[in-house]
Amino acid sequence: MRVLIDQDKCCGAGSCVLSAPDVFDQRDEDGIVVLLNAEPPAALHEAVEEAAAICPAAAITVEQTERV
Ligand code: SF4
């Protein structure tokens, strides 16, 4: 899994941080999303998928990468 964020779309709602705090954070100054881990481990995939699904700005994209 590879996670991409679009800081231009993000409206700082923070839902992603609540869903997956190990993967997403927010900038202190304006609340815009910060990506902490672009390739999260399998244990976090469900939370990341949920974060992408609930993001009100559709600022999170999840790419499935090949299993090795
Ligand atoms: S849920 Fe979406 S809009 Fe809200 S902080 Fe995260 S990326 Fe930004």
Residue boundaries of the structural domains of the chain = 2-63
Cβ(52) – ligand 1 distance below 6 Å:
no
- pTM, entire model: 0.94
CB neighbour class for 46 (10 Å; exposed up to 12, middle 13-18, buried from 19): exposed
Per-residue pLDDT, 68: 57
The predicted-structure confidence for 34-57, as pLDDT tens digits, reads as follows 999 999 999 999 999 999 999 999
Per-residue pLDDT, 66: 74
- Of 66, 54, 67, 68, the closest CA to residue 33 belongs to 54
Cβ(55) – ligand 1 distance below 6 Å:
yes
Q: Left, alpha or beta for 50 (phi > 0: left; psi -120 to 50: alpha)? A: alpha
Cβ(23) – ligand 1 distance below 6 Å:
no
Report which ligand 1 atom has the smallest distance to the Cα of 19.
Answer: 1
As assigned by CATH, the class of the 2-63 domain is: alpha beta
When the pLDDT of each residue in the chain is averaged and rounded to a whole number, the result is 96
Per-residue pLDDT, 67: 66
The predicted-structure confidence for 52-67, as pLDDT tens digits, reads as follows 999 999 999 999 987 6
